[in-house]
Structures are given as structure tokens and as C-alpha cells.
Homo-oligomer: A and B are copies of this chain.
Amino acid sequence: MSNPLRLGIAGLGTVGVGVVRILESHADLLAKRAGRPIEITAISARSKGRDRGVDLSGFAWEDDPVVLATRDDVDVYVELMGGEDGPAKASTEAAIAAGKHVVTANKAMLAMHGQALAEQAEAGKTALKFEAAVAGGIPVIKALTEGLAGNQITRVMGVMNGTCNYILTRMENEGVPYDQVFADAQALGYLEADPNLDVGGIDAGHKLALLSSIAFGTKVNFAGVALEGIQRISTTDIEQARDMGFRIKLLGVSQLTGRGLEQRMQPCLVPVNSPLGQLENATNMVVLEGDAVGQVVLRGAGAGEGPTASAVMGDVMDIARGFSMSTFGQPATGLQDIQAAQASAPAAFYLRLTLKDAPGALHKITGALANAGVSIDRMRQYSHQDAAAPVLMVTHKTTRAELDHALDGIMATGVTLESPVAIRIEDV
């Protein structure tokens, strides 16, 4: 059996502790599978004294992750601190510069600096792997870069933020409004310190940007993701969607079009009997479409100690087995710098308007829609006690540009009390 593979782990939160537990409980199994033992030699975290429920006494301690990352007795630097910049980025760069392989779960860092880090790693012939950064325990990076490597990928879709899906599921199942479920989720510790990372779609957008790069051979372009959160989704929207046979999901969609790379992370209506529509609670799902394979759907836990540690260990095992590949599945220097494109394919949209209860209001709205060339498939107006009249519609298929034109026209009528809610109905 060959020399052990030696890990230095920075960050001992949930995931870090999960990795320690796997290495402790499965040492023999991992050695058999990898052909060599895998050991932790050194660790680093914010607080040395804290009891994490695992025995860390056998590992060297470093206060500074940069020092940890460059130790002579570390072959693989496992970065589990998180954060787009700061110590995570500094230590990752230091590790690569010192010729170490890097395994990270840090989607924010990669979404912002992935191109530069991948180029650095490839120049230094070290591995930079990040299975744990996207969709937790689901081995989706591996499926895309390796299993489906014979395909031209045509579309990638995914529900990749478990917290948002949990909120939407509870709103649907219990009829509880967004604010209340949000407060519960916060109390339960399901939300990031900055909740906008979750409910604003940023976290899921980071993941989508990484998948796009691999799928289409393009440079990571998080700024090019059309982002929209779930904050404005109401139980009315959810009920109306269900009445029509749909569920609302925070759905990421990425595809190459003739006009550039389209990346969207926004609430969508999907058919209730599709795999995406059936997804409940915090589970994640990624749908990969390739020209040869057709549609492959992957479903699993998107977060949590075990699932995320499992993904980290998948990367570690690849390195232990000597599998060496470009970070994004092809050399980073050759990735295309492609422009961002708005959604171009026409789609039907669900619209919710809140109108002043005044004569002619609905007439003005339908006029604005007609002006923009948007035609109405279905419409409902609800009876109401107060001065606000909710109106719900589904349009026929239209482009986003036409819809935006219609929405501008609707706002200009002066009869709306809130800006309209528009949700795309996605063909999945």
C-alpha cells in the first residue's frame, strides 16, 4: 500500500466535524478503496477549545489557516471555513502555491474567484475540487464533468437551496404566510447569517454559476445570473399555482443560446407531477440534459453534516486515487468568456396584480398587456373587502422582453397598488 494521503482541515463546523467522523469510523474501508490510508495531520478553526464531540487531540493545531495550508505534512488542504474572500481565499491561494491539492465546499469563493484559482491550480498541476459546494451530497459535479463527459450539455436545472424549498413547502402544506415560515426557519437555524444569501437566491445562484461553467465550458459568471428571491411569493400564488397543476420552486436554469449564456435563478412554476414539482422540504435536485443521454435527474440532501462531508470525501478519494483533472472539466485558460443573455425562449407567465378598486382599472391593465402584445390565457379577479383588488392571470407564451414591456405599461397606468408579481412557467 502506498504512502498515506495527509489532510489539513481548516474549519471545524458541521461539515468539518463530519469529515473527521468519516475518516475516524471508516479508515479501513477508505484505505481499501483508495489503495492507501487517508489521515488528518493538522487542523485549524476559530476556537481551539470548543468541544465539537470528536477527539481532535491526535492532530496538530494551527491558528492560522495559511500556515496549515502550507505545512510539509499536508498533501491536501481541505477548506471548510467559507467566505468569499478573507482567510478562505488567502489560504487556498497559499495551498496551491505550495503545491497542495485543495478540496473546498466554498461556493461563494469559487463563484467569485474560481477562474483565477483554477488557472493557478492548473499552472501548478494541483487539483482544486469542489463537489461539496454544489447540491451537498449529490455527486453532480462528478456526473457532469465525468459521467456525462461524452455529451454536449444542452440545459442544466436545479433546486439547490434547501432552505428556500423548505419555506415554499411549508407555505404550501400549511397555508402559512412567508414571513411566519421565514421566522421559523431563522429560529431553527436554517438560514445563513445573512438570510438574503438563501431567500434572495444568491447561494443557489453561486451554485448555478459553477454548474454552468462546467456544463458549457464558459468562465464562471455569477454576475450574469438573473437573480430573484422568494420573498414576494405569497400563499395566494402558491394556491393559484396548485389549482392549475403547478408548484412554485426557486429554480435555476442555465443554457447556451445563440445570443450568449442564459442563467436564471428565480421562482418558477413547474408541473406538480414532474420530478422537480414533486420535490419537498430541504431536498435538492439537479436536472442535467445532454444531447446523447437525454435527461438525468439527481436528487439528495443538499446540506447537513453527513451529506456535505460525503461530498468532501468523494473529492478526497479522487485525489487519493490519483485522478487529476482540470477544475471545470477542461483547462481554465480555454474557458469561453461568453456574454450573459436574457431568457429568449417564450414562456407562459403567471401574474399577480394588486389593483386599486376603481372603475376602469382592469380595462387599463388589459390595455397595457394588449399594447405589449401579451395575450391572456386565463384570468381571475377576487372579491375583496378593502380597496385592494387582487387579479391573477396566466399569459400565453411570450418573451421576457414583451412581458417586461407589459409590466412597465401596467405600472404606468397608475392603478396598481404594488409592483406586479410575475412568475415564469418553466418547461421541465
CB pair B301 A299 closer than 8 Å? no
In the assembled complex, A232 has its CB within 8 A of some CB on chain B = no
Q: Check B32–A137 contact: CB distance below 8 A.
A: no
Q: Chain B contacts of A30 at CB under 8 A?
A: 149-150
Q: Is the CB of B137 within 8 A of A294?
A: yes
Q: Are B32 and A310 in contact (CB under 8 A)?
A: no
- CA of A151 to CA of B18 in the docked complex: distance in angstroms? 12
Given contacts A147-B314, A314-B147, A314-B149, contact A301 B307 (CB under 8 A): no
Which B-chain residue is minimally distant from A23 (CB atoms)?
A: B150
Stretch binding the partner chain, chosen from A54-62, A254-262, A320-328, A405-413? A320-328
- From A90-98, A285-293, A370-378, the one touching the partner chain is A285-293
- A331 CA to B147 CA, complexed, in Å: 22
Does A22 interact with chain B (Cβ within 8 Å)?
Answer: yes
Cα-based distance from A96 to B101 in the complex (angstroms)? 33
> Is there contact, CB below 8 Å, between B300 and A299?
no
Please name all residues of chain B whose beta carbon is closer than 8 Å to the beta carbon of A69 when the two chains form the complex.
Answer: none
Residue of B nearest to A306 (CB): B292
Are B318 and A293 interface neighbours, CB within 8 A? Answer: no
Per the CB 8 Å criterion, the residue count for chain A at the interface is 61
Tell which of B150, B297, B334 touches A22, judged by Cβ atoms closer than 8 Å.
B150
Q: How far is the CA of A211 from the CA of B32 in the complex (A)?
A: 18
Contact A29 B152 (CB under 8 A): yes
Cα A35 to Cα B324 in complex, Å, equals 11
Residues of B contacting A330 with CB < 8 Å?
32-33
Q: Are B313 and A150 in touch, CB under 8 angstroms?
A: yes
Produce 1/0 per residue, A15-46, CB < 8 A to B: 00010001000100110111100000000000
Query: Is A143 an interface residue, CB under 8 A from the partner?
Result: yes
**Contact A293 B297, beta carbon cutoff 8 Å:** no
**Across-interface contacts of A275 in B (CB, < 8 A):** 275, 278, 299
Interface string of A136-170 (1 = CB under 8 A from B): 01110011011111111000000000000000000
Asked whether A292 and B278 contact (CB < 8 A) given A32-B330, A148-B139, A324-B322, the answer is: no
Partner of A296, one of B137, B147, B321: B137
Does A298 count as interface, using CB distance less than 8 angstroms?
Answer: yes
Report the separation of the CA atoms of residues A5 and B323 in the bound assembly, to the nearest whole angstrom.
17
Cβ of A317 within 8 Å of any chain B Cβ, yes or no, is yes
CB-CB under 8 A from A324, the residues of chain B are 321-322
Cβ contact within 8 Å between A300 and B293: yes
Q: Is the CB of B143 within 8 A of A139?
A: yes
CB distance from A117 to the nearest CB of B (A): 19
A300 in contact with B306 given A32-B217, A150-B313 (CB within 8 Å)? no
Q: Does A10 contact B (CB under 8 A)?
A: no
Determine whether the beta carbon of A301 is less than 8 Å from that of B294: yes
- Which residue of chain B lies nearest to A32 when distances are taken between CB atoms in the complex? B330
Q: A295 in the interface, Cβ–Cβ < 8 Å?
A: yes
Contacting residues, chain B, for A138 (C-beta < 8 A)? 296
Q: At the interface, yes or no: A82 with Cβ under 8 Å from chain B?
A: no
Nearest chain B CB to A288's CB is how many angstroms away? 9
Chain B contacts for A322, CB-based, 8 A: 323-324
Of the A-B pairs whose beta carbons lie under 8 Å apart in the complex, a sample of 26, sorted by A's number, is: A22-B150, A22-B292, A32-B330, A32-B334, A33-B145, A35-B326, A35-B331, A137-B292, A139-B296, A142-B147, A143-B143, A146-B317, A150-B309, A150-B313, A278-B278, A292-B306, A292-B313, A293-B301, A293-B311, A297-B297, A297-B298, A297-B300, A321-B323, A321-B324, A321-B325, A322-B323
